[in-house]
Each structure stands twice: as structure tokens, then as C-alpha cells.
A and B are shown apart, each in its own frame.
Chain A
């Protein structure tokens, strides 16, 4: 089954304790992205990746890191989490970030609910 898999689904941690949220897709997609969802703010993009070893900042990158060493994986790293990073996080992927697939929709994972105390 074609899917985007995030782990864990739920995570409670304390301020300053480094954590990683994993994201993996099995559709051979080149484009991957991380979003956070907060009430009243909708989805805001954190980081995105056009392809392996190519990443760039989205709208709210502060406090986050990403890496794209393989096409299928795009982990989100919080080096020193803070309470304002408590949120619902989504990973998404799509075919290619180019004109021939410009109308491709995003495929989303089921989300990771992170609480930082």
C-alpha cells in the first residue's frame, strides 16, 4: 500500500531533550515536506526537500533540522525542544517538484502529536 509513515504517533518530552520524528514514504517520491498544524493557524511548512541531499527552509524553520540522505526518509529533528513546539506535525510527499508534475497532490502521513513540557 502506498503510504507515508510517521513515527511516533504521540510523543511527550521535556524541554531541551533532543528528539527525532521519522518519516518514510514508499512511493519513490522526490519531494518531501514537514508541516505543523496549530489551532487557528492551519498548516505551516517547516522544511522541504526537493530530492536527496536538497533541503530548504519553509515558513517556520526555527528550532528544527532535517536531513535527506535517502529518497524514502525525511526525519525531523528538534535539537532542544521548547514548549512552543508543542503541536501536531505532518510529513508529506509528492512526485517531483517540476513542471511536468506541477499538479501532483501531496500525500500525508497520519501525524505526530508532540507535547513539550
Chain B
């Protein structure tokens, strides 16, 4: 069974500092990895994805994520945090294609990011 772990329930960072939100995964075969962001009273919004190729993936709002196969990690990063980045972040994984049933996304429990002015 596939799984995602987000080891930190909350991350606090000062505005202007770099931020990292951690994610590790477990799947069969090559993973399809996603990051989503949830602002208060809103649904989840897609940020970025890793499918194959370059290990550093760039996404929306200046976010990027680094895929590390040996460590089975897909950490979300941003060079300079903004107060408006404060939100709940979810990592998700889909395992290698093995039929329509393998399409399901498994989500982590989420990490609350607070950017302090």
C-alpha cells in the first residue's frame, strides 16, 4: 500500500527566510508526487508535481520541490517566505500505473505553515 508522511504538523518561519515543508513517501514503482495548498475556508489548490526528469520541480507562487529517490522524499521549498504563504500544505502520491485502480491519490496529514512578519 502506498503512503505519505509529513513529519511536521506545523512549521514556523520568519518572513523573508527560506522555508521547507517535508514529505516522504512509500509506493510501488516510480512515484507521481504532488503538492497542494489549502487556504482557510477553501479547497485544495494544486501547486506542483513531479513525474519524471529533473529532480527540482518549479510550481506556482514561487514554490519548488526537490525529488530525492534514494531518500524517498519530496520536500517543498521556497527561497523567501511571504506572510501570504501561511496555509495548510499537503503532499500526495500516486504509485506506478497498474490499471485504473492505481489512479488513487494518497495524501499526507498536512503541515500548517505559519510565516511570521
Measured CA separation A42–B106 after assembly (Å): 10
Total contacting residues, chain B, CB less than 8 A? 24
**A-B CB contacts (within 8 Å), total count:** 58
Cβ proximity bits A15-52 to B, threshold 8 Å, 1 near / 0 not: 00000000000000001000100001111010010100
- Judging by beta carbons under 8 Å apart, are A103 and B49 in contact? yes
Does A106 touch B at the CB level, under 8 Å?
yes
Given contacts A40-B109, A42-B110, contact A31 B45 (CB under 8 A): no
Given A43-B90, A50-B100, answer yes or no on A110-B105 (Cβ-Cβ < 8 Å). no
Give Cα distance in the complex from A42 to B93, angstroms. Answer: 14
Q: Which residues of B contact A103 (CB under 8 A)?
A: 32, 49, 51
Stretch touching chain A among B36-44, B69-77, B79-87? B36-44
A50's closest neighbor in chain B, by CB? B100
A105 touches B103 (CB 8 A): no
Q: How far is the CB of A27 from chain B (nearest CB, A)?
A: 13
Say whether B44 contacts A90, CB under 8 Å. yes
B63 contacts chain A at the CB level, 8 A cutoff: no
- With CB as the reference atom, state the residue of chain A lying closest to B46: A105
CB contacts (< 8 Å) of A35 on chain B: these are 107
Chain A residue numbers with a CB within 8 Å of B44 are 43, 90, 92, 106, 108
Known: A45-B105, A105-B46, A109-B43. 12 other contacts (CB 8 A): A41-B109, A42-B90, A43-B44, A92-B43, A102-B94, A102-B103, A106-B36, A106-B44, A106-B105, A108-B36, A110-B43, A111-B41
A-to-B contact residues, CB < 8 Å: 4, 31, 35, 40-43, 45, 48, 50, 56, 58, 90, 92, 97-99, 102-103, 105-111
Give chain B's interface residues, CB within 8 Å of chain A: 9, 32, 34, 36, 41-46, 49, 51, 90, 94, 97, 100-101, 103-105, 107-110
